Amino acid sequence: MCAEFKRGLVAAGLEARRMPQHGALSRRLMNVCGWRIETVPGLIPARDFFALLRDRRFPSPDWIRHPDDLEYTPEPDAFHDLFGHVPQLVSPPFTRVLEHLAFAARRASDEELAEIERVYWFTIEFGLVREQSIVKAIGAGLASSIAELDRALHLESIERRRFVLTTARNVEFKTDHPQALYMVADSLDALAKDLRGENWSSARRAS
């Protein structure tokens, strides 16, 4: 994982040997960065998801994946959210990206919302970043998947493209198996800058 993610892991006070409880973790996060954990049963609609992010609440279930799904799970569980997303929440470079996407979704049409979801997928969930010429992971989906993290960074046959916002808005993704394409941002700051200046209400552009 990239250095900023690892700093967030330390700042959040997560312990490798123990799953944090939502209540205690929320209280700690409020003190550290002003975010809270909102317990939900599982996946929720995109509009509800981004509405919670605008209120600095991150939705997470309180159940853990089956041992058979240790290397990859198509549905986020508490491990994915707490060890994959919480380190992002205490990091200003990450939260700038989250907030730009969340506020863009506030008045988005259904088509624009789908594009915002795609950008979220290729950044916050499965994004890569170039860090001192070395490609590192930033996505929570990679942080919580041993097999896919290794695959994304080291498998020669995997496609890794430089992150381009117009492309990310239009490329479809699959949630039920490891990714065939990853996008590499120049930096988290550059990513946030791109999102801040994007006109989400513009006509959909071809990649």
Domain range summary for the chain, segments of one domain joined by +: 3-196
**75 Cβ contact list (under 8 Å, min separation 6):** 42, 43
Give dist(CA 14, CA 1) in Å, integer. 15
pLDDT of residue 74: 67
In this prediction, the residues of the chain whose per-residue pLDDT falls under 70 are: 70-74, 202-207
pLDDT of residue 40: 93
pLDDT of residue 202: 57
Active-site amino acid positions: 80, 85, 125, 144
Query: Could you tell me the maximum CA-CA distance found in the chain, to the nearest angstrom?
Result: 48
Global pTM exceeds 0.75: yes
Nearest-CA neighbor of 2 among 103, 166, 131, 109? 131
pLDDT of residue 119: 97
pLDDT of residue 203: 46
Confirm if 61 and 41 have CB atoms less than 8 A apart.
yes
Q: What fold is seen in the domain 3-196?
A: Phenylalanine Hydroxylase (1.10.800)
- pLDDT tens track for 122-164: 999 999 999 999 999 999 999 988 889 999 999 999 999 999 9
Nearest-CA neighbor of 80 among 57, 55, 105, 63? 63
Residues linked to residue 184 through DSSP beta bridges, in sequence order: 128, 162
Give dist(CA 73, CA 84) in Å, integer. 13
At residue 203, what are phi and psi to the nearest 5 degrees? -60, 145
